[in-house]
């Protein structure tokens, strides 16, 4: 479906988006305050160096599908959709500048006040922190337009996933399309804008769309830093990092996969903590600084501390802990974060009862038994084989597993506080309900 689109901000994202949308058959108006950019684009010359953008810009300008202007009001009046692609630079302390976003929102709002015709949709492509759209931009649009967002005009957030050097190819073959919709009609417009492109389309709340961009970029930075640190350690130990990483990335079940990428409780067990400590120790002996690897265990420790603080903030003393092993389906208690949690709560004087279907004192053997004797020597007095018994004892339920017996017992939790460490199956409906505390959601 052909649409009329105005693109505000003709930098890297805006210029590529404008040219590619025009290639898809839309009629695009580029808007910018820089006369130099406008002059170049009016002549069919891309104002940036980027693979494929030069020929594409020349083609769509020559065909009359991409025009430019400095007049924001005229662009809004002549379009169905406005894409905001202005920059959001950060200060040295990391704080985000929304100056350009605010200025464009004010301009578009003022233009909407005088605009007649079909409902206009404002789509923000700029990278911005969660809450920026609904708490800052929507009020500005409403104030300057005198109209109501989601009723009189549409609003959506549509983060871009364009890599410099391959942005044109990325636009036409996106890994995904994310549409943060203020209302369904706004989402329909954005989905139609990219109709025919490959990749899954995610229609989500506005704040989810805002956060998705940060999740992506932070993980990309993490991957690069991880590979570089591991390479430095390999070199110091006389190992070629190339074959190591070839084997590593070939594993699509655990390594390059969704595995482990779900917020939950801290990691533990007999492998991860031990092996991270061992690698960091080897790096230190080789005089290799590995700040990323060195902070994995402190980051894990901080996540455990968050759970303790959630319990403390309830102000209640009788605690039921559901789950004790380091992950479901095992009785391995070695370096289990739930054991650590129970130990800290006991040390602070809380009255605990514990349920774990897989843990029985009579079956604990070897290193597993020795570990528990050292960490929770009175486990026998705390452990129950009945989740209902633990529930009856508790004022606060700390949920470290979601096996069927626990989920069934929690249906009768009543006014007990639930501290959810694993994201219960009905967590989405519980969020925001008094007495429910999710660890990371």
What is the distance between the alpha carbons of residues 369 and 353, in angstroms, rounded to a whole number? 19
Fold (topology level) of 4-208: Rossmann fold (3.40.50)
- Average pLDDT of the chain is 94
Spatial distance between the Cα atoms of 320 and 389, rounded to a whole number of angstroms: 9
Percentage of the chain exceeding pLDDT 90: 87
Residue 331 has pLDDT above 80, yes or no: no
- The band of 180, judged by pLDDT with boundaries at 50, 70 and 90, is very high
Q: Is 170 part of any known ligand binding site?
A: no
Across 107-116, 254-263, 330-339, least confident range: 330-339
Is 373 assigned a ligand-binding role in the annotation? Answer: no
348 is in an annotated binding site: no
pLDDT tens figures, 133-178: 999 999 999 999 999 999 999 999 999 999 999 999 999 999 999 9
Q: Where does the pLDDT of residue 11 fall: very low under 50, low under 70, confident under 90, or very high at 90 and above? A: very high
CB 168 within 8 A of CB 53: yes
Q: Which residues of 67-76 are buried (b: 16+ CB within 10 A; e: fewer)?
A: bbbeebbebb
Q: Is 223 annotated as a binding residue?
A: no
Residue 387 annotated as binding site: no
Is the pLDDT at 114 greater than 60? The verdict is yes
What pLDDT shows up at residue 327? 83
Of the residues 20, 133, 234, 271, only one is catalytic, namely 271
pLDDT band for 217, please (50, 70, 90 cuts).
Answer: very high
Q: Decide if pLDDT at 367 tops 90.
A: no
End-to-end CA distance of the chain: 38
Q: Is 131 left (phi over 0), alpha (psi -120 to 50) or beta?
A: left
Retrieve residue 3's tokens.
């649409």
User: Do residues 336 and 269 lie in contact, with contact meaning Cβ atoms separated by under 8 Å?
Assistant: yes
10 Å CB burial of residue 334 (0-12, 13-18, 19+) is: buried
Question: Catalytic: 234?
Answer: no
Q: H/E/C letters for each residue in the chain?
A: CCCEEEEECCCHHHHHHHHHHHHCCCEEEEECCCHHHHHHHHCCCCCCCCCCHHHHHHHHHHCCCEEEECCHHHHHHCCCEEEECCCCCECCCCCECCHHHHHHHHHHHHHHHHCCCCCCEEEECCCCCCCHHHHHHHHHHHHHHCCCECCCEEEEECCCCCCCCCHHHHHHCCCEEEEEECCHHHHHHHHHHCCCCCCEEEEECHHHHHHHHHHHHHHHHHHHHHHHHHHHHHHHCCCCHHHHHHHHHHCCCCCCCCCCCCCCCCCCCCCHHHHHHHHHHHHHHCCCCCHHHHCHHHHHHHHHHHHHHHHHHHCCCEEEEECCCCCCCCCCCCCCHHHHHHHHHHHCCCEEEEECCCCCHHHCCHHHHHHHHHHCCCHHHHEECCHHHHHHHCCEEEECCCCHHHHHHHCCCCCCEEEECCCCCCHHHHCCCCCEEECCC
Distance CA 420, CA 87 (A): 38
Q: For tokens 């769509």, name the residue.
A: 60
Question: pLDDT grade, residue 117 (50/70/90)?
Answer: confident
Q: Are 113 and 47 in contact (CB under 8 A)?
A: no
Residue 374's pLDDT is 78
Is 172 a known ligand-binding residue?
Answer: no
4 annotated as belonging to a binding site for a ligand: no
| Contact yes or no for 80/16 (Cβ under 8 A) | no
Q: Over 60: is that where the pLDDT of 98 sits?
A: yes
- pLDDT for the residue 328: 83
Per-residue confidence at 365, pLDDT binned at 50, 70, 90? Answer: confident
CATH fold label, 299-438? Rossmann fold (3.40.50)
143 is in an annotated binding site: no
Q: From the CA atom positions of the chain, what is the Rg in Å? A: 27
Hey, where are the domains in the chain? Answer: 4-208, 299-438
Q: How far apart are CA 248 and CA 102, in angstroms?
A: 45
**Does the annotation flag 262 for ligand binding?**
yes
Whether the pLDDT of residue 362 is over 80: the answer is no
pLDDT of residue 361: 63
pLDDT tens digit string along 382-420?
Answer: 999 999 999 999 999 999 999 999 999 999 999 999 999
* 264 carries a ligand binding annotation: yes
Same fold, 4-208 and 299-438: yes
pLDDT band of residue 249 (cuts 50, 70, 90) is very high
> Is 161 marked as a binding-site residue?
yes
Q: Positive or negative CA dihedral for 201, 207, 208, 214?
A: positive
Q: pLDDT digit string (tens) for 197-212?
A: 999 999 999 999 999 9
Q: Is 261 annotated as a binding residue?
A: yes
Tell me how crowded residue 222 is: count the other CB atoms within 10 A of its CB: 11
pLDDT (tens digit per residue) in 308-322: 999 999 999 999 999
Percent of the chain whose pLDDT exceeds 70: 99
């Amino acid at each position: 479906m052909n649409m009329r689109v105005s693109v505000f901000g003709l930098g890297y994202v805006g210029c590529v988006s404008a040219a590619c949308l025009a290639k898809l058959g839309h009629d695009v108006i580029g808007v910018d305050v820089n006369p130099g950019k406008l002059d170049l684009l009016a002549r069919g010359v891309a104002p940036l160096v980027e693979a494929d953008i030069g020929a594409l810009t020349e083609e769509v300008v020559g065909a009359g599908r991409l025009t430019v202007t400095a007049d924001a009001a005229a662009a809004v009046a002549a379009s169905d959709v406005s894409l905001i692609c202005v920059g959001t630079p950060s200060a040295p302390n990391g704080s985000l500048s929304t100056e350009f976003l605010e200025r464009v929102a004010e301009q578009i709002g003022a233009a909407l006040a005088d605009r007649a015709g079909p409902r206009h949709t404002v789509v923000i492509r700029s990278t911005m922190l969660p809450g920026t759209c609904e708490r800052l931009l929507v009020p500005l649009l409403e104030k300057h337009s005198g109209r109501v967002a989601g009723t009189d005009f549409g609003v959506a957030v549509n983060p871009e996933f364009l890599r410099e050097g391959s942005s044109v190819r990325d636009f036409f073959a996106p890994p995904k399309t994310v549409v943060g919709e203020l209302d369904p009609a706004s989402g329909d417009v954005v989905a139609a804008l990219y109709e025919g492109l490959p990749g899954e389309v995610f229609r989500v709340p506005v704040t989810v769309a805002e956060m998705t961009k940060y999740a992506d970029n932070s993980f990309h930075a993490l991957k690069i830093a991880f590979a570089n640190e591991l390479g430095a350690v390999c070199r110091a130990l006389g190992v070629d990092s190339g074959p190591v990483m070839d084997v590593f990335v070939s594993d699509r079940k655990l390594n390059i996969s969704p595995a482990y990428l779900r917020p939950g409780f801290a990691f533990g067990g007999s492998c991860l903590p031990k092996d991270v400590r061992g690698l960091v120790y080897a790096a230190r002996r080789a005089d290799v600084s590995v700040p990323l690897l060195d902070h994995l265990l402190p980051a894990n420790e901080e996540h455990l501390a968050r759970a303790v603080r959630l319990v403390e903030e309830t102000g209640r003393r009788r605690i039921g802990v559901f789950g004790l092993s380091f992950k479901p389906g095992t009785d391995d208690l070695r370096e289990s974060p739930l054991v650590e949690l129970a130990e800290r709560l006991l040390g602070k004087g809380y009255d605990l009862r514990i349920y774990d279907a897989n843990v029985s004192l009579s079956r604990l053997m070897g290193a597993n038994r020795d570990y528990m004797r050292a960490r929770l020597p009175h486990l026998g007095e705390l452990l129950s084989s009945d989740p209902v018994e633990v529930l009856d004892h508790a004022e606060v339920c700390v949920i470290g597993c979601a096996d069927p017996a626990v989920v069934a017992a929690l249906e009768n939790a009543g006014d007990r506080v639930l501290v959810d460490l694993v994201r219960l199956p009905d967590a989405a409906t519980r969020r925001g309900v008094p007495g429910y505390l999710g660890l990371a959601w």
